[in-house]
């Protein structure tokens, strides 16, 4: 060991993060002897075993070989949330494998004090070490503020600061942000009719029967209808879940969230954030801000900002004209078009003012050339009334010149703002990545549009087709695989 110590030396950096093996000459020895040498010098962590092997075998190393480095501390697992209840609005699977469309779990009822969300705290990572063996504490993972996920009707438990519980019984709601709420549910036993009058509610509503024609539902949250909706006026800020369907009528159906129904038949105006129709949309006009999913679409117009997914589109009956438009926010397009029209009026006004300014400027140049002569003429006129009329005429010209100049500045500023708004809306209303996906049959006569593309009207029926835009902005048809 004395010879070994004679031929090798160990140096440790002042901060304990690195160590070097100073080699005087090669020497054949065991790796264990060099490890003992390092240990004796206080180097116990982060040792490069490959270099120890080479040194032991007498391989020529650098005169001062970097033999050990400190071990970085690890960052622990971030805090995470465990949702203790789940709610999927979809048909129930029967034991025989078929779907029961009459049972779709429209509402998930929550009990007072029920546990909803559990926070799993962030963990501390594995410690690191200096080469001397001194421990460097591990780092704690990113934390989550549970308070950010507390919605209406919920609170953080007094007994456990890592749990969200229900304040009262009601309908469970989980938002896209992850926030949860328990909404006090207003139950209508039977139909919405003369016995109930119109419904105006700030909380969720459950209706065990139908919504009859001529009545109204206004709701700030979700609405579940176990029957059907007749020609009633519907304005729901949350989701609308209809166990049966929406029948014909001219009263609007406006839904801020997801519209879930078995069918929509001959409805003039249906608007929603998203639409999931389990059976058929027929002869209706839908304007959807998200995607549309339906088993069949026959007749009418369906416009969606995102994709349209349908099994069967159109019909072999000539009277069923079916129009499908994906990638278009119709409301924003209308706003854009209105602003463009207003911008066009502003530009026409600017041109008119520009022509008037040219005439006034020419008049001003001529007036300045003859100003002395005009003043002498006015002074020589005995009739003071005529002289005053000439002076007033000149003053009006000068005033109008100033007015035109200011109005042009105002109109230019207004036109600039309008142009910016038009550009923003133009970027926002169209979604060129959207698709119309037909998983079954699309019949001849169906019209397909994506964004502001030219409309494609099918000449013959096709099967399992995806309609999307190519790089030139033209609609192409791609066969689905499988």
pTM over 0.75: no
Question: Is the CB of residue 154 less than 8 Å from the CB of residue 166?
Answer: yes
Residues 177 and 190 in one domain: no
Q: Where is average pLDDT lowest: 20-24, 34-38, 144-148?
A: 20-24
Residues 169 and 292 in one domain: no
- Token pair recorded at residue 24: 């005087």
Residues 412 and 451 in one domain: no
Residues 23 and 119 in one domain: no
| Predicted pLDDT of residue 105 | 62
Residues 309 and 422 in one domain: no
Q: What is the mean pLDDT of residues 397-412?
A: 83
Q: Per residue in 259-270, pLDDT tens?
A: 999 999 999 999
Kind and range of the H or E run holding 362: helix 330-380
- Do the domain assignments include residue 38? yes
Residues 204 and 278 in one domain: yes
Domain end point (choices 407, 429, 451): 429
On the question of pLDDT at 317 being above 90, the answer is: no
In the three-class reduction of DSSP (H, G, I as helix; E, B as strand; rest coil), residue 55 is classed as helix
Beta bridge partners of 187: 206
- Do the domain assignments include residue 28? yes
Beta bridge partners of 192: 211
On the question of pLDDT at 382 being above 70, the answer is: no
Q: Which one is predicted more confidently, 145 or 361? A: 145
Residues 325 and 442 in one domain: yes
Residues 100 and 118 in one domain: yes
Q: Name the domain count of the chain.
A: 4
Residues 85 and 141 in one domain: yes
Q: Per residue in 323-344, pLDDT tens?
A: 999 998 877 777 778 888 888 8
DSSP code at position 390: H
First to last CA, the chain: 73
The residues, any chain, with a CB within 8 Å of residue 255's CB and separated by 6 or more, are: 234, 236, 239, 240, 270, 271, 272, 273
Question: Is the CB of residue 358 less than 8 Å from the CB of residue 408?
Answer: no
DSSP letter string, 222-264: -EEESS-B-S-EEEESS-EEESSEE-SBSS-EEESSEEEEEEE
Q: Per residue in 277-295, pLDDT tens?
A: 999 999 999 999 999 999 9
Residues 90 and 168 in one domain: yes
Q: Which domain holds residue 319?
A: 186-331+437-479
- Do the domain assignments include residue 74? no
Residues 234 and 318 in one domain: yes
In the three-class reduction of DSSP (H, G, I as helix; E, B as strand; rest coil), residue 206 is classed as strand
Residues 280 and 211 in one domain: yes
Regarding beta strands 233-236 and 253-255, do their DSSP bridges make them parallel or antiparallel, or are they unpaired? parallel
């Amino acid at each position: 060991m004395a010879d070994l110590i004679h031929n090798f030396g160990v140096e440790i950096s002042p901060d304990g993060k690195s160590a070097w093996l100073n080699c005087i000459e090669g020497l054949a020895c065991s790796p264990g002897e060099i490890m003992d040498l390092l240990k004796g010098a206080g180097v116990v962590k982060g040792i490069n075993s490959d270099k120890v092997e080479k040194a032991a075998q007498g391989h020529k190393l650098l005169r001062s070989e970097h033999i050990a480095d400190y071990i970085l501390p690890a960052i622990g697992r971030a805090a995470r949330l465990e949702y203790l209840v789940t709610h999927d609005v979809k048909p129930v699977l029967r034991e025989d494998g078929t779907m029961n469309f009459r049972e779709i779990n429209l509402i998930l009822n929550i009990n007072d004090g029920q546990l909803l969300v559990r926070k799993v705290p962030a963990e501390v990572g594995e410690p690191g070490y200096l080469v001397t063996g001194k421990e460097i504490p591990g780092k704690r993972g990113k934390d989550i503020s549970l308070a950010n996920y507390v919605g209406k009707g919920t609170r953080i438990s007094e007994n456990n600061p890592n749990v969200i519980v229900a304040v009262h019984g009601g309908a469970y709601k989980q938002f896209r942000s992850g926030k949860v709420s328990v909404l006090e549910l207003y139950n209508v036993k039977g139909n919405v009719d003369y016995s109930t009058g119109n419904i105006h509610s700030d909380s969720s509503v459950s209706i065990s029967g139908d919504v009859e024609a001529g009545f109204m539902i206004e709701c700030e949250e979700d609405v579940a209808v176990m029957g059907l909706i007749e020609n009633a006026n519907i304005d729901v800020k949350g989701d609308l879940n209809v166990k049966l369907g929406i029948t014909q009528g001219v009263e609007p159906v406006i839904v801020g969230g997801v519209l879930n129904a078995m069918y929509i038949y001959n409805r003039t105006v249906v608007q929603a954030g998203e639409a999931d129709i389990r059976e058929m949309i027929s002869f209706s006009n839908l304007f959807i801000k998200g995607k549309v999913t339906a088993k069949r679409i026959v007749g009418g117009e369906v416009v969606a900002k995102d994709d349209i997914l349908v099994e069967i589109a159109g019909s072999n009956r000539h009277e069923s004209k079916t129009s499908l438009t994906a990638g278009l926010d119709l409301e924003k397009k209308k706003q854009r078009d209105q602003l463009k029209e207003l911008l066009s009026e502003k530009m026409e006004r600017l041109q008119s003012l520009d022509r008037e300014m040219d005439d006034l400027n020419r008049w001003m140049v001529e007036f300045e050339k003859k100003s002395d002569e005009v003043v002498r003429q006015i002074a020589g006129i005995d009739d003071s009334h005529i002289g005053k009329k000439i002076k007033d005429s000149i003053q009006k010209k000068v005033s109008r010149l100033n007015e035109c100049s200011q109005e042009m500045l105002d109109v230019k500023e207004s036109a600039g703002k309008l142009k910016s708004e038009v550009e923003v809306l133009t970027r926002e209303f169209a979604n060129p990545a959207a698709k119309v996906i037909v998983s079954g049959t699309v019949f001849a006569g169906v019209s397909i549009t994506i964004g502001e593309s030219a409309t494609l009207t099918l000449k013959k029926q096709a099967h399992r087709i995806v309609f999307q835009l190519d790089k030139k902005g033209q609609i192409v048809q791609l066969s689905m695989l499988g």
